[in-house]
């Protein structure tokens, strides 16, 4: 049996142009953009393969959230021929391995190479370039700027990458960019704001830098198709009123993840005892929204109403922030909170949430009945290492499920 990650399968299909939101009108011979995204088509393919018995979903913690798929090795070989016909890979001997004509290669995947050098320059027609996890790369080679057909660039876990060059704005066809877990990066280049087709941006960094070359959330409002954004936070105060206002400008945003630095979290822990922090936090919030509110900004500062999924990681505050108090998030279906100082969810308004994940929250204390009152439409809950939630009606895996089915 062979196991493969759901995310990787969908990216392969997008790179090979199998999962595409563009079709050709046979009468007019013109391209037509469909309302569905490439990922939507990928999910449909996975459902179809599952229903036909070709692949078997693997659920996280015996729940309803699919992480990977399992298939027989013979089926995997067949799927390779169908799905990866235009995929070019690196094998363990650092040789370029593609059983098909390199001229037609649309997707490059890295499995074992530690560096990217000039031997890849001739692959100018890639749609998917994945040097993910290349440990020795400190900067992107210049030849990548010539990959004008590139749609997916996956730099995840390139931990020695020191800078994303401004010429990344030349990659006009880019729809997916993943620069998450690249811990030496200090800022994002302004060139990102030129990627008008960008739909997914992971690992966007917001820090204390005052450099005018640094890309801001306001710059991202120039990207009309951006629907998925993950932010890595190194500044102590986020989001500010102005940043919240700019976030509201991301009209197509459906999924948002905000990760605060553990250094920020540690400084918060060292400041004062829990109860003192709690009182100070409530006082500060009241003061900031009554006396210090910028009159030029909208009075109600909140997250985009288009959000369907929100993730908060290493959340540095003790109580829920004011931007989660409003009933603006009418489309929010998934809420994930992982790590941090949060003590309760009393103020939160999320009656539409169906999936709730709570992980590594040692200070969170709430009775089960309060969760049911706050999240009246909840159909799935997962808790991990939350000692103050012992009264929850979860199984041995920390999972509670209703009888309803969960959508992707």
Examine the pLDDT at 40 and tell me if it is beyond 80: no
**The pLDDT value given to residue 311:** 95
Q: For residues 269 and 267, give the distance between their C-alpha atoms in angstroms, rounded to a whole number.
A: 5
For the chain, the average pLDDT equals 75
CA distance 172 to 145: 10
Q: What is the rounded distance in angstroms from the CA atom of residue 276 to the CA atom of residue 270?
A: 12
Instruction: Report the alpha-carbon distance of residue 284 to residue 329 in Å, rounded.
Output: 24
- Flag whether 289 is in a domain: no
**Containing structural domain, residue 53:** 1-84
Assess if residue 316 is contained within a domain.
yes
Q: Does residue 113 belong to any structural domain of this protein?
A: yes
CA distance 227 to 200: 6
User: Which of 90-94, 112-116, 187-191, 375-379 is predicted with the least confidence, judged by mean pLDDT?
Assistant: 90-94
Query: Same structural domain for residues 62 and 112?
Result: no
- List 381's β-bridge partners, or say none: 356, 400
What's the pLDDT score for residue 101?
43
Q: Are residues 307 and 390 in the same domain?
A: yes
Q: Is residue 198 one of the residues assigned to a domain? A: yes
Three-state DSSP class for residue 170: helix
Whether pLDDT at 266 is above 80: no
The arithmetic mean of pLDDT across residues 113-133, rounded, is 55
> What's the confidence (pLDDT) of residue 390?
86
Model-level pTM?
Answer: 0.76
* pLDDT attached to residue 313: 93
User: CA-CA distance, 358 to 402, in Å (whole number)?
Assistant: 17
pLDDT for 92 equals 38
Q: Is pLDDT of 61 > 70?
A: no
Q: Looking at the structure, do residues 27 and 136 belong to the same domain, yes or no?
A: no
- As for how many domains the chain has, the answer is 3
d(CA 79, CA 75): 6
Cβ of 21: how many Cβ atoms within 10 Å? Answer: 17
- The residue from 253, 284, 317 where one domain ends is 253
**Cβ–Cβ under 8 Å, residues 330 and 302:** no
Domain annotation covers residue 277 = no
For residue 71, the surrounding DSSP H or E stretch is: strand 66-71
Q: Do both 90 and 224 map to the same domain?
A: yes
């Amino acid at each position: 049996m062979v196991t493969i990650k759901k995310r990787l399968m969908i990216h392969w299909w997008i790179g090979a142009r199998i999962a595409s939101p563009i079709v050709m009108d046979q009468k007019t011979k013109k391209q037509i953009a469909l309302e569905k995204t490439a990922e939507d088509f990928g999910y449909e393919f996975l459902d179809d393969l599952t229903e036909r018995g070709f692949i078997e979903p693997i659920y996280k913690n015996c729940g309803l959230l699919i992480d990977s798929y399992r298939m027989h090795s013979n089926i995997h070989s067949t799927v390779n021929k169908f799905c990866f016909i235009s995929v070019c890979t690196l094998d363990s001997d650092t040789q370029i391995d593609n059983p098909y004509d390199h001229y037609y290669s649309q997707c490059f995947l890295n499995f074992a190479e530690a560096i990217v050098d000039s031997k890849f320059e001739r692959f100018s027609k890639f749609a998917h370039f994945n040097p993910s996890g290349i440990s020795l790369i400190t900067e992107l080679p210049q030849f990548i700027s010539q990959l004008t057909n590139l749609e997916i660039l996956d730099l995840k876990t390139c931990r020695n990458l020191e800078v994303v060059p401004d010429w990344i704005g030349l990659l006009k066809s880019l729809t997916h960019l993943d620069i998450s877990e690249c811990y030496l990066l200090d800022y994002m280049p302004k060139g990102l704001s030129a990627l008008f087709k960008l739909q997914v941006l992971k690992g966007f960094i917001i820090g204390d830098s005052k450099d005018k070359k640094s890309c801001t959330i306001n710059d991202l409002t120039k990207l009309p198709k951006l629907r998925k954004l993950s932010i890595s936070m190194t500044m102590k105060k986020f989001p500010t009123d102005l940043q919240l206002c700019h976030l509201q400008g991301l009209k197509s945003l459906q999924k948002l993840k905000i990760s605060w630095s553990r250094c920020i979290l540690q400084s918060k822990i060292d400041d004062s005892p829990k109860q003192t922090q709690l009182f100070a936090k409530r006082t500060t919030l009241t003061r900031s929204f009554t006396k210090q509110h910028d009159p030029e900004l909208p009075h109600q500062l909140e997250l985009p109403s288009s959000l369907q999924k929100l993730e908060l990681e290493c959340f540095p505050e003790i109580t829920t922030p004011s931007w989660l108090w409003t009933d603006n998030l009418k489309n929010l279906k998934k809420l994930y909170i992982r790590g941090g100082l949060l003590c309760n969810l009393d103020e939160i308004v999320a009656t539409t949430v169906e999936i709730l994940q709570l992980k590594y929250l040692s200070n969170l204390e709430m009775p089960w009945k309060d969760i049911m009152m706050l999240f009246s439409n909840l159909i799935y809950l997962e808790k991990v290492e939350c000692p103050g939630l012992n009264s929850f009606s979860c199984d041995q895996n920390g999972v509670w499920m209703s009888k309803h089915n969960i959508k992707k």
